Structure 1
Amino acid sequence: MKKITILLVSLVCLQSCKQEPKKEESPNLSEKFAAVLDSYYEDGLKLNPINATTAGDNRYDDVFTNQLSDDHIAKVKAHFEGYKTKLNDFPNESLTASEQMSKAILEWQCDINLNEFNFNANLTPIDQMWSPNLFMGQLASGSSAQPFNTVEDYQKWIKRVDGYLEWLSSTEDKMREGMEKGHVLPKSLIKKVLPQLESLTVKDLDKHLFYTPIKNMPEDFSEAEKSQLTSAYESMINDKIILAYEKLHTFMANEYMEAGRESSGIQGEPGGDAYYAHQIKKYTTTNMTAAEIHELGLSEVARIRSEMEKIKEQVGFEGDLKAFFDYVRSNKELMPFTDPEQVIDNFNAIHDRMKPQIEKLFDVKPKTPFEVRRTEAFREKSASAEYNPGSLDGTRPGIFYTPIPEVTKYNTYSDESLFLHEAIPGHHYQISLTQESEELPKFRKTLWYSGYGEGWALYSESLGTELGLYTDPYQLFGMLGAEMHRAVRLVVDTGLHSKGWTRELAIQYSLNNEAESEASIISEIERYMANPGQALSYKIGQLKIRELRKKAEDALGEKFDIRQFHNQVLETGCVPLALLESKIDHWIKENS
């Protein structure tokens, strides 16, 4: 395994996350430091109230801040600059190890977010995969984080929509500015945004996503309340939402489409190389270069191909590996479903099969409930499977969303690895245990570092055999396929954004090396085009966690306890990889 060189984080004497005695001359230092961390968290919720709603904090459910406005941008800059300055009041030697980790994490947060302002990412505010309008659609469905339990909840949503529409109007202004400065989406991505916008211009209210809460009003609402809310939502949709989406759709389908980029990668924009370097650091929390990652990806692709060859031989397939990919993609025996609910049932059955083995690998499990749901129809065609966290108080479950656009073409060969990644013990364990922690400050409970978070989820896929899964060779191939998918990402993401690759070349490379369907691969490549660097985080983080596990196994021998190792990785929540490595190194030293 190649060693991942990780970013040095400002940290003087991190030893572990155990509490240590404070210095006598600073009896109130811990309280003051905790107050700064709490203030940072609270101020952050005011700047991004959607985060509060997602965490189950309903104080700001009626607010949507216009993150594109000059006023908001100035506030965000002041927020990070101010807290970076405040940290200077707390020398590392006066803090416990746990507090030092929180300080190092907050310094990282401030630095990476301030660096973001050196670029023009807000000039392409809408895409087909990541932008706020898509998450607002989830909230509008009434089945996500935004509550629709009381009359007040319904009224709060109307106010939030007003703020959202202000943001939506600003997106056109920013895109026009982007057209002038050379920062525009590729045409292929604009084409994918258009049907998403058009779906919310439907005049039949019963079919409109934003009308869904009205169709599901609680029975204890009075007739007068139901009538008043129905009228208010009809007006909101007819007089505001439909008009706003029609206007934006017209702009993007005409002027913006004409200005769209022919190039596929971020190199096609001014300052693209510098922005990509920033994105690599942001998502992997390393100092790796695009060239290093590209070579690592090529190496991993070669290694995984050799493992795939063994599965091909095991099932008796005659032909080369690419032919085997085609066989797996089109094998009707792997597409057994006729009803979307059967897909959901299959994931629940996977969960049941692994339950008897989970105790062997984990002695700490989350209390937050868990559900599998189908991805909402309005975004299903462009969506990937994903996990949405439960609320901090555990009242809202963690949800694994899986898109099922055509159930008869749904291929099951990778379902076991997908469940391990998105659900258990992947994102559900990692995020829920963090949120349930009584030791971590609030700001760390909702923190997300993709290198750690996605790295853990991909590492979790490799635990299938230990959890009683992968007994079917096609499911084992599915695990290898999922790992190959992330290895290919290292190649195609860097290819697109640093080597001038076209969308078509990236698609073909993926088709040559993985068994995903062509439609799925196209969606994935366009995902990478929309958010440079994010796709790199999975494999970089996974390799680091696997490297740390092997280091611990080699050093501790019979003393190695896989459950304790997993506790060590999970108990501190999302952290830059350098801090995770420091923590595991100290744990090894303590237990040697």
Structure 2
Amino acid sequence: MLDRREFLLSSAASALLPAAARAAGDADGRLNSLFDALFQAELRRNPEMATQLGLDKGANYDLKSRLRDESLGAVATHKAETLADLKQLKAIDRGALGPAARVNYDTVLYQLEARAAVQRFDFGGSSYGPSPYVISQQSGAYQSVPEFLDTKHAIVQQSDAEAYLNRISGLALELDKETDRLRHDSGEGIVPPDFILDLTLAQMQALDIPGEQSVIATSIARRAKAAGLGDAYGHNAARLFDQRVRPALQRQMTAVKTLRTKARHDAGIGHLKQGPEFYAAALKSTTTTSLSPDDIHKLGLDQATEIGARIDELLKAQGLTQGTLAQRIKGLYADPASFFPNTDEGKALAIAYCNGRLDAIRPKLPTLFKRLPPYKFEVRRVPPQTEAGAASAFSQGPALDGSRPGLVYINLRDTAEWPKWSLPSVTFHEGLPGHQLEGGLALSNTDLPMIRKASGFSGYAEGWALYAEQLADEIGMYADDPLGRIGYLRFQLFRAGRCVVDTGLHHLGWSREQAIQYFVDLEADAPGFAAREVERYCVNPGQACSYKLGHTVWTQQRAKAQAALGPRYDIKNFHEAGLGCGRVPLEVLEGVIGDWIGRTKAA
């Protein structure tokens, strides 16, 4: 708090500023005040996010006992709140803002407008992005909350354990609310494909077990005992699961089974009510570009051809000259030494190997970056109870205060899908210098308002992570690992294929089987791996395209900077410009890099 003398001095100093500068400062202040209010409101709507960030403390401690309300009434309220937020933001004069504040303004405006565009549809939920389905193998409280409670809800003191029990009771309520929404959407003709419902039911059945065996109960039992709180919390959690959660889960399973009787096999959403319109909104939201499905499909085909040619040369260098590209890649799978055993012990070795790759790249990062995030990061296995429907790999950020590390999850349902030479690239993508570095820098950036730290854009983040795979190659992580370089380029080819498959499913009407076969023929994906990926795209339309589109923008901007700056180009400064602004839409990123190039040339 300023004392009177400090206030007078600061007032006198501001009076000496040019009027334009004072106006910008006032506008910046109004914008930041609005951002603070919007962020606090978002925390109140999303208690899980508060816990994820480590902000369920102090005035927000009550959030630690709650879960996000996903009822039909809450969905309607959120729609109205988005429109109100947009109105408040647009009331601020963008032209009066300073340069950094304009980037913040443009970013939040894009985010709110994209959210409003998706909320116009009277159906759907969310997973890795907008989803037409409330419940699927990758969406719904039944699968997200148990993992959240196990890995995100800290238990240090008695009140934490009590809050955990409250969330168990809350899960039962949320299951019933989502079941109501499932029925509502099915009444509008929004029914997931039959194979998606089969996956969903399989995961639900795996969770339909006695409370004492549920991860919800075993997690609190283990951690409460370690905190010196005794055994009672584990018993109470098991009782709550049996009495409240399990009956609600069974009611939801009954609703899903009923829905299964009317489900079609169509994989894409083109046949659904407003399906093409939903796909267009989801594409724009996740890729943050205005490219059409046809443009994206062509980009994927073109880049697949270029990347395939690079892999062809590397395969020839390994003496693999006969057969199609996919057949030769498949030949690499013939060596048993390339695989970890498909046992718990073998999977533990695979995770240890991935953590070793993180350790190996850490010392090289200062050659690329001016700043590194202050957090810890580690690789873990996807929990067995959700690996059947989970993505092949994914990343979760650390707590804001570093109390929980950033986590990289690898789906090791079958280690035959993960030859050793494919693991480094996914580790660099999800970990360092990929998602965990980019996200960690955003979280620790003191120049960003919290609403910017806590939000993200798939095109920016996934594009960066794919570019991070390229950086790992450029700094020599495959210098003595030629198969690892093939694995890296194969994943680049895979991301190009995603553009083809996602638009094929949702725009061109491809079947699930056609999409799976495309991946098998393109780069020898194991059918099980390809199936999980395709099934993911079925419930997350558009998001799969964000990887290669984002990577294309990042590499184009780097090439643009190199050409414009010549000897004055410095990769650390380029990365600082692109990462220092935080997560932004790709269209905003292009403007940020352009401004940086202009300032560098003028300096």
Retained in 2: the 8 A contact 1:189–1:526? yes
Q: Distance in 2 between matches of 1:379 and 1:130?
A: 12
Retained in 2: the 8 A contact 1:416–1:470? no
Match of 1:33 among 31, 39, 52: 31
Task: Give deviations 1:529-582, integer Å, cap 9, x for gaps.
Answer: 011001010110000000000011111111111111111111111101111111
Matched residue, 1:150? 157
The answer to whether 1:274 aligns with 2:277 is yes
Q: Kindly provide the amino acid, as one letter, of the partner of residue 146 in structure 2.
A: G
Match of 2:338 among 334, 338, 347: 334
Cα deviation, residue 111, structure 1? 1.2
Matched residue, 1:257? 260
Cα deviation, residue 55, structure 1? 1.0
Runs of at least 4 residues of structure 1 off by over 6 A?
Answer: none
Identity between Structure 1 and Structure 2 (%): 27
Q: Kindly provide the amino acid, as one letter, of the partner of residue 452 in structure 1.
A: Y
Retained in 2: the 8 A contact 1:344–1:374? yes
Q: Distance in 2 between matches of 1:408 and 1:25?
A: 62
Q: Kindly provide the amino acid, as one letter, of the partner of residue 520 in structure 1.
A: F
The answer to whether 1:234 aligns with 2:234 is no
Matches within 5 A, 1:392-431: 392-407=400-415, 410-431=418-439
Q: Pick closer, same or farther for the CA change 1:416–1:95 going to 2, 3 Å.
A: same
Matched residue, 1:346? 353
Matched residue SS, 2:407:
strand
Q: Kindly provide the amino acid, as one letter, of the partner of residue 186 in structure 2.
A: M
Q: Distance in 2 between matches of 1:176 and 1:514?
A: 40
Q: Pick closer, same or farther for the CA change 1:145–1:207 going to 2, 3 Å.
A: closer
Matched residue SS, 2:546:
helix
Matched residue, 2:8? none
Q: Pick closer, same or farther for the CA change 1:518–1:21 going to 2, 3 Å.
A: farther
Q: Pick closer, same or farther for the CA change 1:312–1:485 going to 2, 3 Å.
A: same
Retained in 2: the 8 A contact 1:360–1:563? yes
Matched residue, 2:452? 444
Retained in 2: the 8 A contact 1:400–1:422? yes
Cα deviation, residue 334, structure 1? 1.1
Matched residue, 1:170? 177
Q: Distance in 2 between matches of 1:77 and 1:251?
A: 26
Task: Give deviations 1:291-339, integer Å, cap 9, x for gaps.
Answer: 1101111111111111111111011014221211321234312114452
TM-score, normalization: structure 2?
Answer: 0.90
Give structure 2 stretches of 5+ with no counterpart. 1-17, 126-131
Retained in 1: the 8 A contact 2:380–2:409? yes
Q: Kindly provide the amino acid, as one letter, of the partner of residue 198 in structure 2.
A: K
Identify which range, 214-223 or 571-580, moves more after superposition: 214-223
Match of 1:387 among 395, 420, 425: 395
Q: Pick closer, same or farther for the CA change 1:330–1:148 going to 2, 3 Å.
A: farther
Q: Distance in 2 between matches of 1:520 and 1:300?
A: 22
Identify which range, 75-84 or 371-380, moves more after superposition: 75-84
Matched residue SS, 1:413:
helix
Retained in 2: the 8 A contact 1:64–1:161? no
Q: Kindly provide the amino acid, as one letter, of the partner of residue 587 in structure 1.
A: W
The answer to whether 1:57 aligns with 2:59 is no
Matched residue, 1:513? 522
Retained in 1: the 8 A contact 2:362–2:432? no
Match of 1:542 among 537, 545, 551: 551
Q: Pick closer, same or farther for the CA change 1:566–1:232 going to 2, 3 Å.
A: same
Identify which range, 552-561 or 345-354, moves more after superposition: 345-354
Cα deviation, residue 222, structure 1? 4.7
Q: Distance in 2 between matches of 1:434 and 1:569?
A: 11
Retained in 2: the 8 A contact 1:22–1:95? no
Matched residue, 1:367? 374
Cα deviation, residue 219, structure 1? 3.7
Q: Distance in 2 between matches of 1:463 and 1:201?
A: 44
Match of 2:80 among 78, 81, 104: 78
Q: Pick closer, same or farther for the CA change 1:82–1:483 going to 2, 3 Å.
A: same
Cα deviation, residue 385, structure 1? 1.1
Q: Kindly provide the amino acid, as one letter, of the partner of residue 432 in structure 1.
A: G
Aligned residues: 566
Matched residue, 2:328? 324
Q: Pick closer, same or farther for the CA change 1:473–1:433 going to 2, 3 Å.
A: same
Matched residue, 1:584? 593
Retained in 2: the 8 A contact 1:353–1:468? no
Q: Pick closer, same or farther for the CA change 1:367–1:503 going to 2, 3 Å.
A: same
Q: Pick closer, same or farther for the CA change 1:25–1:139 going to 2, 3 Å.
A: closer
Match of 1:455 among 463, 484, 489: 463
Q: Kindly provide the amino acid, as one letter, of the partner of residue 125 in structure 1.
A: V
Matched residue SS, 1:439:
coil
> Using CA pairs below 8 Å that are at least 6 residues apart, which structure has the higher relative contact order?
1
Q: Distance in 1 between matches of 2:445 and 2:396?
A: 18
Matched residue SS, 2:560:
helix
Q: Kindly provide the amino acid, as one letter, of the partner of residue 326 in structure 1.
A: K
Matches within 5 A, 1:81-100: 81-100=83-102
The answer to whether 1:69 aligns with 2:55 is no
TM-score, normalization: structure 1?
Answer: 0.92
Matched residue, 2:292? 289
Retained in 2: the 8 A contact 1:22–1:96? no
Q: Distance in 2 between matches of 1:273 and 1:572?
A: 33
Matched residue SS, 2:33:
helix
Matched residue, 1:46? 44
Q: Distance in 2 between matches of 1:22 and 1:261?
A: 61
Task: Give deviations 1:448-477, integer Å, cap 9, x for gaps.
Answer: 100001110011011122332123221111
Q: Distance in 2 between matches of 1:62 and 1:418?
A: 35
Retained in 2: the 8 A contact 1:413–1:478? yes
Matches within 5 A, 1:183-222: 183-203=190-210, 205-206=212-213, 208-222=215-229
Matched residue, 2:562? 553
Q: Distance in 2 between matches of 1:355 and 1:368?
A: 12
Q: Pick closer, same or farther for the CA change 1:576–1:410 going to 2, 3 Å.
A: closer
Q: Pick closer, same or farther for the CA change 1:348–1:26 going to 2, 3 Å.
A: closer
Match of 2:491 among 482, 501, 508: 482
Cα deviation, residue 31, structure 1? 2.6
Cα deviation, residue 208, structure 1? 4.4
Q: Pick closer, same or farther for the CA change 1:462–1:508 going to 2, 3 Å.
A: same
Q: Distance in 2 between matches of 1:25 and 1:365?
A: 34
Matched residue SS, 2:270:
helix
Identify which range, 557-566 or 132-141, moves more after superposition: 132-141
The answer to whether 1:464 aligns with 2:472 is yes
Cα deviation, residue 115, structure 1? 1.4
Cα deviation, residue 112, structure 1? 1.2
